[in-house]
Amino acid sequence: MKVVITDCNFASFAEEQQMCDRNGHQLIILQCKTPEEVIANTADADALFVQYVPITDAVLANLKQCQVIVRYGIGLDNIDLAAAKKHNVPVCNVPDYGIDEVADHASALTLTLLRQLTFFDNSIRQGKWPSVAPTPMLSCKGMMFTVAGAGRIGRATLERMRAFGFKLGAYDPYVSEKDLNDMGVEKLSLDDLFSKADVISLHLPLSKETHHLVNRDRLKSMKNHAILINTSRGGLIDTHALAAALDAGEIGHAGIDVFESEPMEAGHPLRTCKNALLTPHIAYYSAASIVRLQRFAAEDVERALTGKPLRCQYTAV
């Protein structure tokens, strides 16, 4: 059978190749940038691995015998899921390959910003030796660390922050107050999340409902020392509004790993915000997590092509 990698940024394809070799499949590795390129190369594919390229209705209509599409990663917003259902093409993701890495990254961004480490590092490199930070440096103990989205990554991040003495809170309409209370976490409404939190870490999927969840009005409702962390999806935040809020001192700091446009455009105002700490969509990454990602993805393709139940198939609500 023909297995196609439409696009990816991996250095090795050992896991996919081993899966194909043990089953007698042909592996084809592409770097498609557009749906049109996918259409031109995948009509006879039996399975697709996808990373970033959009998988549109036209792409799906062109697939003549595809038995599965597996996305390298958690989010599925580059795949037209309604069209996949219409064309009867199962779609899988890999939701559990980098839970610890993303939780570690969100925690690291939080602590770096709370302790204002980049300011002190830059000051020393400039020949200075400051004794105070440019904005008040607050203690972790007693502050409220919150997550928007209390799934696996959100919960893992909360557990890391517990060790530093934070009070913990979460907004998640799909998790009961009892379940959160059993974890020692206060259940918050969306309004309370923004008004009460000292730190908000976003761990939500991107959808019509969550697009620009963090907007100008929400930012204005936050504490002026609050920290916003995003290791989830860039579209959750109106980043132009965030840059304006940071420059105006309406919130304290932001740690951002994901952006609506990647790479972030050269003239974006976040690039010049002194209180923003930016990383290049790298929260998921470790040497071990990439191996897990490719192995888990390859295993679901193998299941699909051998008629076995899929591990992580998306099911439309």
Give residue-wise pLDDT tens across range 61-102: 999 999 999 999 998 999 999 999 999 999 999 999 999 999
User: Is 250 an active-site residue?
Assistant: no
Those residues whose C-beta lies under 8 Å from the C-beta of residue 227, and which sit 6 or more positions away, are 110, 113, 114, 198, 199, 200, 251, 252, 253, 254, 255
Identify the pLDDT of residue 316: 65
CB of 305 closer than 8 Å to CB of 67:
yes
Model confidence, pTM: 0.92
Q: What is the C-alpha separation between 120 and 215, in angstroms, rounded?
A: 30
User: Is 262 an active-site residue?
Assistant: yes
Start-to-end C-alpha separation, the chain: 31
What is the mean predicted confidence (pLDDT) over 25-51? Answer: 98
Q: Which of 36, 177, 262, 265 is catalytic?
A: 262
Judged by DSSP in three states, 41 sits in helix
Q: Which of 155, 160, 233, 303 is catalytic?
A: 233
Are both 2-97+287-305 and 99-278 of the same fold? yes
Taking domain 2-97+287-305, whether its CATH number is 3.30.230.70 is answered by no
Phi-psi group of 302: left, alpha or beta (phi > 0 → left; psi -120 to 50 → alpha; rest → beta): alpha
| CA separation, residue 24 to residues 60, 155, 199, 296 (Å) | 25, 41, 51, 19
Alpha helices in the chain (DSSP H): 14-23, 35-42, 57-62, 81-86, 99-114, 117-125, 152-162, 177-182, 190-196, 216-220, 239-247, 287-305
CB of 213 closer than 8 Å to CB of 148:
yes
What is the mean predicted confidence (pLDDT) over 127-148? Answer: 95
CATH topology of domain 99-278: Rossmann fold (3.40.50)
pLDDT of 317 higher than 70: no
| CA separation, residue 42 to residues 10, 39, 160 (Å) | 20, 6, 43
Both tokens of residue 3? Answer: 């297995």
Would you place residue 315 in the very low, low, confident or very high pLDDT band (cuts 50, 70, 90)? confident
Q: Which of 87, 211, 281, 295 is catalytic?
A: 281
Both tokens of residue 119? Answer: 């300011």
Q: What is the C-alpha separation between 75 and 153, in angstroms, rounded?
A: 13
pLDDT in tens, 215-273: 999 999 999 999 999 999 999 999 999 999 999 999 999 999 999 999 999 999 999 99
CB of 113 closer than 8 Å to CB of 105:
no
What is the mean predicted confidence (pLDDT) over 13-28? Answer: 98
Q: What is the C-alpha separation between 237 and 214, in angstroms, rounded?
A: 5
Q: What are the residue boundaries of the structural domains of the chain, listed by start?
A: 2-97+287-305, 99-278
DSSP letters for 210-231: TTT-B-HHHHHTS-TT-EEEE-
